[in-house]
Chain A
Amino acid sequence: MSSARNRELGALVPVALLLTAGFAAVFAQEESRLDNLSLIYGAYFLALCLATHIYLRIRLPDADPYLFPLVALLTAIGLVMIYRIDADLARDQANWFVFGLVLFALTIQFLRDYDVLERYRYTIAGVGLLLLLAPRLPGIGQQVNGAFLGIKIGPLAFQPAEFSKICIVVFLASYLREHREVLIVGARRVLGITLPLLKHLGPLLVVWGASMFMLVFIRDLGSSLMFFAAFLALLYVATGRFSFVVIGMAMFVVGAWFFASTVPHVGDRVDIWLDPYVDPATGKYDPGGSGYQILQSIFAQADGGLFGKGFAQGLITIPGTDNALLPAAQTDTIYALIVNELGLFGGCGLVLVYMLVTARGFKIALLADDGFSKLLATGLTAVFAIQAFVIIGGVTRVIPLTGVTLPFVSYGGSSILANFVLLALLLLISDRARREAVGRGDPF
């Protein structure tokens, strides 16, 4: 099956070239000269990718050949954009990339038999919930923009929701694998609607409800949306009952309305989304107030047009000051910066890459033979896709803007590390699935 790995190798070369060209463009813009430093960076990047590729050749020879190059492409786009914003941040991000690859390799090394995850599902669920709770713990918790997203131990800052999402998906996949039959068979029709029995749904609702509660408790709206959507996706795939999804949506609408009207932080986010020109606290026209970030994000995109301002040509701060024109350009609004500088085409290209990653992820789920692998691959892919949707949808005003990272592109160590673990799990499932598919003689 080395043909899969050869395709992977072939796909990595253009990615490395793209990164090299990207750095060259930043240098050309800033120093008005070409610097062979861009070649050195490109070479480092290629070397890291090659090392990972060789590792995959040994450990997971049959795994999906496109996922890793696609992720490398996203990382390359992220690194170049972040470098263009701030060279120091890009160095940090590059370090996180290396750590991410190490964690990726370690996950593959120690979770070859990922079925063990099923055995510890309640432990994993507990860890996931504890991780969510951590930012509210005194001493290590941190509040950013009204949300409790991070924890800080010594010099190490950390966003636990990123890892928590994997834990919760593992739990949901494992629980649903075991109980999907009873959920379907045990369902009763009440008033024309098919409802699952509470005793089968119980533990699921407890874990899910607890995670939702934690998220509201830490006020992380973006993650709660992600978790909820992943839950519905898995429930739908596991049971095939669309009515469950409808019920879930109804629950979400009621819950969202409840929280929007009781938790001011949540309500404000929704009001800003509906009318960013008005400050929700005062009800007055105030484009420089709470709606500043989303407005500037939209204005940056308007300025990009079809082809963009050109790489490294957009404005991030107000010239002559340190005041942000595009707040959180390296994290929340990095997509707006990409559209600003690379235009609608650049933005569409990025969305297409996420779509391709999603396609490969679901393909793995289709090929997988056992229920747990199928559900796990589905859940991981869904949570990844939804994360991208939540933040891109946030900066394009499809949904309220919330602070989740754009996977592999946004600046942030926790995000990179967690998403490399997610990638490792997908490739582990893929390796087994494709090997078995070849054994069965199935085409793929």
Chain B
Amino acid sequence: MSVAKVGSVVLDCPDPMALARFYAEVLGGTPQQEEDWVDLEVPGGPALAFQAAPGHVPPQWPSPEHSQQFHLDLSVEDLDTAEKRVLALGAKPLETEDRSRGWRVYADPAGHPFCLCAC
């Protein structure tokens, strides 16, 4: 028997609602604010939560000293189409040069790395 169930995956960030809106556009769902915490129930996916971290410094990538610690892998049908949309929403490319690979790395608007995977 397991000890516990995963409730949420929580991301530190300077502006929880802004980052929740970004992930709501990418994954679906409606952000729900509770003080300095925003929940995002992703349809058919894990619950994400966004927590205000005063003085938040984004991870650097790739860097073990300023590690990403966690990241999200996001599945897409078509990498080029999804890339256009996440860039329009404020993501930045981190490692996208190799177009033959099935995955590319981006930073979300708070600087957390995430991957788009055609997997």
A, B co-complexed:
no
